[in-house]
Structure 1
Amino acid sequence: MSIAAINVRNQFRGVVKEIIEGPVVSEVDVLTPSGLIVTSVITTRSVKELGLQVGRDVVALVKSTEVSIATL
């Protein structure tokens, strides 16, 4: 399956900046070319299967059914 075959409109190219690995889930920070950081929480098993490591080029795929906003 290619990335083009995935029905996700929000795709951000970037580089893995940091991985905080836990026993079950891990946080992966992706630094985009514009300087924004996209953080994903995925299973640690997926981190290993994808071969993720700091400095690797990746695409962050964002699909959300809800975005909440609160005033300050």
Structure 2
Amino acid sequence: MKISARNVLEGTVKEVKKGATTSHVLIDVKGLTVTSSITNEAVDELGLKAGSKVKTIIKSSDVMVAVE
């Protein structure tokens, strides 16, 4: 797989929570949880389930930081 995004993190699926049309996929990345919202169809096509090894790809134009 070749991709232009530079924020690629390897992880393991912890849980897949399916909704009516969208799933929330919880992924363990070095002890931190990353959550991705994708279609149920994509979950099925990728065969995602707890224990699946995946790559999370984060592409964003902004990262905001706030303090109180």
Note whether the superposition's TM-score is higher than 0.5.
Answer: yes
State the identity %: 41
Question: What residue number does 2:55 align with?
Answer: 59
Question: What residue number does 2:8 align with?
Answer: 11
Structure 1 unaligned spans of 5+: none
Question: What residue number does 1:49 align with?
Answer: 45
TM-score (norm 2): 0.90
TM-score (norm 1): 0.85
Cα-Cα RMSD: 1.0
Aligned residues: 68
Structure 2 unaligned spans of 5+: none
CA distance in 2, matches of 1:21, 1:70: 32
How far the C-alpha of 1:69 sits from its partner, in A, is 2.6
